[in-house]
Amino acid sequence: MRRVVAALGVFLATFVALGFLALPIVAIFVRVPPGRLIAQLGNPVVTDALLVSLETTLVAQALILAFGTPAAYVLASRRFRGRGLLVTLVELPLVLPPAVAGIGLLAAFGRTGLLHTSIPFTQAAVVLAVAFVASPLYVRAGIAAFEGVDANVVAASRTLGAGPVRTFFRVVLPLARAGLVAGAALAFARGLGEFGATIMFAGSLRGVTQTLPLAVYSQFDVNFEVALAVSALLVLISAALLVALKWLPSASTSRFRFATSS
Amino acid sequence: MAALRLDFTLPLRDFELTLALDVVRTVALVGPSGAGKTSVLRAIAGLARPSAGRIELGDETWLDVERGIDLRPEERRVGLVFQEYALFPHLSVRGNVAYGGRGRVDELLERFHIAHLAEVKPGTLSGGERQRVALARALAREPAVLLLDEPLSALDAHTKSQVRGELSELLHGLDLPTVLVTHDYEDAAALADEVGVIVDGKLRQLAAPAELVARPKDAFVASFTGANLLHGIARRAGDDLTEVRLPGGEQLFSSDHGEGEVGVVVYPWEISVARSHTVDSALNVVRGEIGSVVEVGNRVRVRIGPVTAEITASSSERLELARGGVAYATFKATGTRIVSL
């Protein structure tokens, strides 16, 4: 009897936990009939936001790959004093409150900030905000992926006549690829959902800096159905990325942990 | 053919490795693990940087710390075969071999009997096949020096003896300055013209295998090249007798006591050799193929199955051991030591 009660208790707790996580997601889709949701995607506010989101996320992603890959490789392959400190610094934006990230970006790039730029409240500001919060996910995954490459295989390439550059492109990069792709996908998903730092550093100007998450926020007391439609779109994109990640071979071999994403 | 001249000091974690050595043919460096053997190969290949000294191939200088010369690994013409082979897992066998050089890929695939595996990825290969791929890849580079790191240690006992024979033939045919490192004296003696014993980063003795056994410079070298050490499972077999079963199925007896996994130590000079099995007071008889016959001064060391016996040269001649075939090694239980592993 006691075993039955215990089993029932465990079952109930699991049911509540999963139900709690699933309910808001389900609610987005069932509150309004799907046909009307899809119709709302044609709203100019939505199409503007979609365009802004796509442009800024893709540019930010390109920057993250271009600068993050060499950074991750150096941090993974070199042992030097202060390396641990640098790695921690790279990871810091992951646990930073987004509002703090926004203030930090303003303090650095604002008109009266350290660098005195006119970036704030432009589309470039969105790109910077996205890159700031999303790149640590990629760099972290990149460090793990590069560290996973057998040092002897790299050495073998050198003794076989390949210089450091050729070795990197023909051996290191292909062997680290799966981990890098997983990190890039996570960074992309994080960047697409970026809200707090963007609204502080770039504002929410429709057609310029208003991304999909900002559109949700701006529409939820104007036209709740538009907010729902954009939310549904973001859920689908996130879900698709997550499923794609699980299909990648390296994601299942624990190269990457999800726990620290903010 | 250019000789490889080594004279360098390489700081390691616990000690300094110092080595002065001319390599013309095949030199094997043997010693306990952690003696710095692999570091020698890494220094020659340019993967580790000595703090002082020179590495030269003929009139090419690869390293001269005083003159500030230190060629990068890709600029030294070495073929390094790593202990675990370090094949490129994302490339096919053909891709691995072609990475070293495209000129002779098909020829090398044929020569190492891996042509039928050309499109296979290394992950599915056996140990012996991986080694052949690693050798083919190293030779595709057209190296002037061949470096082999524990070439036989990743192989199981059965594959090992066969590969050892193939490797020995290959090294003789190649005629390149070759440095191989191993912790197994038998492998070193079988493959190399000269064997150097390295302990704690110092070269204790460098000599031909037979010379090393006949005239060891110190006790360590003597013990390193001396006794047979066999592994087996021991159990009590009577009042004052322990039975040890070897992996090959042979049973040995010892008057020592032991239980479970043990090592069996027999000195080669305690073993007598016969062509046919005769019953006498010695309890231990090992029947086996004659593996190698090495002259040690006026004596001969002959390998029979898993044991090496040392007999006089005249006995060896009388028994015609050099022609190979089957022989019997006989030794007494009282001369068979059991040691814990």
Residue B154 has pLDDT above 50, yes or no: yes
Residue numbers in A near B140 (CB within 8 A): 160
Phi-psi region of B133 (alpha: psi -120 to 50; beta: other; left: phi over 0): alpha
- Which of A150, A158, A171 is closest, CB to CB, to B73? A158
Please answer yes or no on whether B100 and A150 come within 8 Å at the CB atom.
Answer: no
Distance (Å, rounded) from C-alpha B126 to C-alpha B165?
A: 18
What average pLDDT does the structure give for chain B? Answer: 87
Q: How confident is the model at residue B264 (pLDDT cuts 50, 70, 90)?
A: confident
Q: What's the complex ipTM?
A: 0.76
- Which of B46, B84, B140 is closest, CB to CB, to A152? B84
pLDDT for res B215: 57
Pairing of strands B145-149, B260-266: unpaired
Q: How confident is the model at residue B216 (pLDDT cuts 50, 70, 90)?
A: low
Please answer yes or no on whether B86 and A161 come within 8 Å at the CB atom.
Answer: no
Please answer yes or no on whether B74 and A152 come within 8 Å at the CB atom.
Answer: no
Residue with the two structure tokens 């079988």:
B190
**Cβ atoms of residues B4 and B56 within 8 Å:** yes
- Which of B86, B90, B140 is closest, CB to CB, to A156? B86
Please answer yes or no on whether A158 and B72 come within 8 Å at the CB atom.
Answer: yes
Residue numbers in B near A153 (CB within 8 A): 86-89
pLDDT for res B305: 82
Residue A162 at interface with chain B, using a CB cutoff of 8 Å: yes
Distance (Å, rounded) from C-alpha A169 to C-alpha A180?
A: 14
Over its length of 262 residues, how does chain A's per-residue pLDDT go in tens digits?
A: 788 899 999 999 999 999 999 999 999 999 888 899 899 999 999 999 999 999 999 999 999 999 999 999 999 998 889 999 999 999 998 889 999 999 999 999 998 889 989 999 999 999 999 999 999 999 999 999 999 999 999 999 999 999 999 999 999 999 999 999 999 999 999 999 999 999 999 999 999 999 999 999 999 899 999 999 999 999 999 999 888 888 865 443 443 444 333 3
List, in order, residues 6 or more apart from A104 with CB less than 8 Å away: A96, A132
Closest chain A C-alpha to B78 CA, distance in angstroms: 6
Distance (Å, rounded) from C-alpha B160 to C-alpha B116?
A: 22
Please calculate the CA angle A170-A167-B153 and round it to the nearest 5 degrees.
Answer: 100
- Tell me the per-residue pLDDT of B41-97, one tens digit each, with 9 for 90 and over: 999 999 999 999 999 999 999 999 999 999 999 999 999 999 999 999 999 999 999
SS3 content of chain B, % helix, strand, coil (to 5): 30, 35, 35
**pTM attached to this predicted model:** 0.74
Establish, for the pair of chains A and B, how many residue pairs have beta carbons separated by less than 8 Å: 60
- Which of B72, B78, B88 is closest, CB to CB, to A171? B88
Residue A99 at interface with chain B, using a CB cutoff of 8 Å: no
Closest chain B C-alpha to A258 CA, distance in angstroms: 27
Residue numbers in A near B89 (CB within 8 A): 153, 175
Closest chain A residue to B89, measured at CA: A175
Residue numbers in A near B141 (CB within 8 A): 159-161
Residue numbers in B near A163 (CB within 8 A): 72, 74
Phi, psi of A60 (to 5 degrees): -60, -40
Q: Which residue out of B70, B74, B131, B150 would a mutagenesis test of the A interface target, given it has the greatest number of A Cβ atoms within 10 Å?
A: B74
Please list, residue by residue across B95-111, b when 16 or more beta carbons sit within 10 angstroms of its beta carbon and e when fewer do: bbbbbbbeebbeebbeb
- Tell me the per-residue pLDDT of B32-57, one tens digit each, with 9 for 90 and over: 877 889 999 999 999 999 999 999 99
pLDDT for res A251: 42
Please answer yes or no on whether A163 and B86 come within 8 Å at the CB atom.
Answer: no
Q: Which residue out of B44, B49, B75, B82 would a mutagenesis test of the A interface target, given it has the greatest number of A Cβ atoms within 10 Å?
A: B82
Please answer yes or no on whether A159 and B141 come within 8 Å at the CB atom.
Answer: yes
DSSP state of B154: T
Residue B255 has pLDDT above 90, yes or no: no
B260-266: strand order across its sheet: B251-254, B241-245, B228-238, B260-266, B337-340
CA proximity to B78, closest of A77, A239, A158: A158
Please answer yes or no on whether B100 and A158 come within 8 Å at the CB atom.
Answer: no
- Tell me the per-residue pLDDT of B286-339, one tens digit each, with 9 for 90 and over: 888 888 787 765 678 888 888 888 888 888 888 888 788 899 999 988 878 776
Residue numbers in B near A157 (CB within 8 A): 88, 99
Residue A39 at interface with chain B, using a CB cutoff of 8 Å: no
Please answer yes or no on whether A157 and B88 come within 8 Å at the CB atom.
Answer: yes
Neighbours of A239 (CB within 10 A): 12
Mean pLDDT of B176-184: 91
Distance (Å, rounded) from C-alpha A56 to C-alpha A61?
A: 8
Q: How confident is the model at residue B210 (pLDDT cuts 50, 70, 90)?
A: low
pLDDT for res B261: 82
Neighbours of A190 (CB within 10 A): 22
- Tell me the per-residue pLDDT of A227-252, one tens digit each, with 9 for 90 and over: 999 999 999 999 998 888 888 654 43
Please answer yes or no on whether A157 and B99 come within 8 Å at the CB atom.
Answer: yes
Residue A165 at interface with chain B, using a CB cutoff of 8 Å: no
